[in-house]
Amino acid sequence: MKVLVTGASGMLGGATARALADRGDDVTVLQRRPAGLGLREVQADVADPAAVLRAVDGHEAVVHLAAKVNITGAWADYARINIDGTRAVVDACRRTGVARLVDVSSPSVAHAGRSLVGAGAGPADPDAARGPYARSKAAAELLALAADGPALAVVAVRPHLVWGPGDTQLVARIVRRARQGRLPLMGAGAVLVDTTYVDNAVDALVAALDRCRPDGLHGEALVVSNGEPRPIAEVLGAWAEAGGAPRPGRHVPVPLALAAGAVTEALWALRPGDDADPPLNRFLVEQLSTAHWFDQRRTREALGWRPAVSLDEGFARLARWYAEGGPGRS
């Protein structure tokens, strides 16, 4: 199959592109900077319709991962990359006769700030979603699924908190903060959260691509996770320990953390041109103090997929990667 993967400079996008190529697919990747995967590359802005059209032309399928994933930032940037970028991909698929589109979304598109306990893939809701990333991804998912039809089969896959060796976003930040003594637990640290080891997320995306077709799986959103909810303190502690950092032991009351997050957001807004995430904000506090775990029965049935790597094995692999010289130990 001739497949275009957008956003292949990220951990999940790169791993997905490599997995498809390794099994024999003809893979092209599109991203703004070199991915270094040894595959055919198109370096372009996903929000550039003409560039995306040229990249998509000649392919049978697209796996769309390119996105702005920061916690904070200007809405215009999220709208351009996440919404306009998805629109460009969808339009290019329609114009060039692509038959399959896997849109990689996020469970945050259906999260309104309350705990998710054994939840399914609720409808994406841009109005209720928390923060510019979630709102923009919700709008993008609705746009992608609206294109589903006899000529173009569309599936939205929402991997939850993907992590693993080589992760420069989630795990690297946790390890860095833990080493600096800046990783408190919100409340008791007992809320249950699902996460997804990267190899499992890749396998799920490949399965979605294979099953996405007009006479098969289409027009649906699926949440993907390891299906092993653990207390947030255990997950953060395992990541920190894998990177050679101490497990977090300090607890901060949630109301106090929310107040501190609001103050930090206000101060961060005074830093013109700074696209870095603040050390704390209300969205982050919500994520660390509310339960997030999901019913995986529909996902596993629809994809014919089950996670191959358990959380404990994933933690061990992460620790070995750091021990063998993975970045982030200084």
**Is 67 part of a structural domain of the chain?**
yes
Point out the catalytic residue in the list 78, 133, 197, 322. 133
Question: Within a domain: residue 288?
Answer: no
CATH number at residue 82: 3.40.50.720
Percent of the chain with pLDDT over 70: 92
- Asked whether residue 178 is assigned to any structural domain, the reply reads no
Residue 134 has pLDDT above 60, yes or no: yes
Q: Average of pLDDT values for 121-133?
A: 90
Confirm whether 319 is domain-assigned: no
Q: Tens digits of per-residue pLDDT, 265-324?
A: 677 666 655 456 666 666 677 767 788 889 999 999 999 999 999 999 999 999 999 999
Tokens of 257: 């953390």
Q: Per-residue pLDDT for 261 more than 60? A: yes
- Split into its structural domains, the chain has a count of 1
Distance CA 5, CA 91 (A): 16
pLDDT band at 259 (very low <50, low <70, confident <90, very high): confident
For position 327, what pLDDT does the model report?
A: 62
Query: Which structural domain range is residue 119 located in?
Result: 2-163+196-225+294-309
Separation CA 108–CA 309 (nearest Å): 24
Residue 24 domain-assigned (yes or no): yes
Q: In the block, which residue shows the tokens 């600096």? A: 180
CA–CA dist 129, 180 (Å, integer): 31
| Position with higher pLDDT, 296 vs 255 | 296
User: pLDDT digits over 210-242, tens only?
Assistant: 999 999 999 999 999 999 999 999 999 999 999
pLDDT score of 328: 44
In a domain, 149, yes or no: yes
Please give the Cα distance from 66 to 254 (Å, whole number).
33
Indicate the pLDDT class of residue 35, thresholds 50, 70 and 90: confident
Sheet holding 2-6, edge to edge: 40-43, 26-31, 2-6, 61-64, 100-104, 153-159, 220-224
Q: How far is CA 141 from CA 31, 100, 222, 274, in A?
A: 19, 15, 11, 28
Selection from 211, 62, 222, 236 nearest residue 157 by Cα: 222
CA distance 86 to 115: 28
Give the tens place of pLDDT for each residue, 142-151. Answer: 999 999 999 9
What's the average model confidence in pLDDT over 251-261? 76
* 3-state SS assignment for residue 101: strand
The least confident of 165-179, 182-196, 266-280 is 266-280
197 is catalytic: no
| Residue given tokens 């791993």 in the structure block | 15
Alpha carbon distances (Å) from 126 to 107, 108, 109, 292? 12, 10, 7, 19
Return the percentage of the chain with pLDDT > 90, whole number: 70
End-to-end CA distance of the chain: 42
pLDDT value at residue 329: 40
For position 277, what pLDDT does the model report? 63
3-state SS, residue 243: coil
Say how far apart CA 128 and CA 49 lie, in whole Å: 29
Nearest residue to 133 (alpha-carbon basis) of 294, 283, 281, 291: 283
Q: Is residue 116 a part of any domain in this protein?
A: yes
Domain presence at residue 239? no
| pTM of structure | 0.92
The pLDDT, as a whole number, for residue 15 is 97
Provide the mean pLDDT of the chain.
Answer: 90
Please tell me the predicted confidence (pLDDT) of residue 117. 84
**pLDDT given for residue 272 in this prediction:** 57
